[in-house]
């Protein structure tokens, strides 16, 4: 691609603009741009094309984010949270960094799989709303458009999750909500502290229905 990865962030204003410009952004904070850790970071950046990576060696930027050198930080908008990975630990490599990003890259709508499941469990948001649906359905793009629009309304309150019913690894979740394939698509809302949940089968998704379902459950 024509854009250089990672992007060099030389001052606080650049760093803040970089973080606020994406649903998920990753910055590597290093003392030396050519250190072994920084080159591992560049390799990880090359592997994950859809997440923007920045790199900073500016003492002012490090201090602004309260990090020490050799830290990789992931910022995400969905719950205004961040995750830090300390690279001074000698066994952190490109593999571990890639996994760290994949695990924590929660988005406005996060697709559920065995890796993102870990990040979902660790999110500070206590409510999860799952859209359990067949991604191969011709109606899928339109459903997703409305589900995303609904997610905007509950940003910072509810984690919106897409669960593809075709994946074998997701069968357990579908059966947890006591749903059969014939009842899908369905919405399932879940309160993590006490496992309280509610399920609604939906033929068509509308923003109003999602909003109403969420509000009723939260109340």
pLDDT (tens digit, 9 = 90+) per residue, 148-202? 999 999 999 999 999 999 999 999 999 999 999 999 999 999 999 999 999 999 9
Burial bucket for residue 1 (CB in 10 Å: 0-12, 13-18, 19+)? exposed
Which two tokens mark 74? 């992931």
Predicted TM-score (pTM) of the model is 0.87
pLDDT (tens digit, 9 = 90+) per residue, 102-129? 999 999 999 999 899 999 999 999 999 9
Which two tokens mark 8? 């060099």
Domains of the chain with CATH codes: 7-104 (3.40.30.10), 109-218 (3.40.30.10)
Closest CA to 103 of 92, 87, 114, 91: 114
């Amino acid at each position: 691609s024509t854009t250089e990865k990672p992007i060099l962030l030389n001052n606080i204003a650049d760093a803040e603009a970089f973080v606020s410009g994406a649903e998920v952004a990753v910055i590597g904070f290093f003392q030396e741009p050519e250190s072994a850790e920084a080159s591992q970071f560049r390799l990880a950046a090359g592997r994950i094309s859809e997440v923007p990576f920045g790199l900073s060696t500016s003492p002012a930027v490090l201090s602004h984010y309260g990090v020490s050198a050799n830290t990789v930080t992931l910022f995400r908008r969905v719950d205004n949270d961040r995750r830090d990975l300390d690279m001074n630990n000698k066994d952190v490599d490109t593999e571990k960094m890639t996994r760290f990003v994949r695990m924590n890259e929660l988005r406005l709508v996060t697709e559920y799989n065995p890796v993102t499941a870990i990040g979902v469990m660790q999110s500070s948001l206590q409510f999860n709303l799952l859209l359990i649906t067949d991604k191969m359905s011709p109606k899928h793009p339109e459903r997703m458009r409305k589900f995303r629009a609904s997610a905007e309304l509950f940003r910072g309150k509810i984690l919106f999750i897409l669960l593809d019913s075709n994946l074998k690894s997701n069968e357990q979740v579908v059966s947890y909500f006591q749903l059969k394939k014939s009842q899908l698509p369905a919405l399932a809302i879940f309160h993590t502290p006490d496992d309280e949940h509610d399920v609604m089968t939906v033929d068509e998704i509308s923003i109003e229905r999602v909003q109403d379902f969420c509000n009723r459950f939260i109340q």
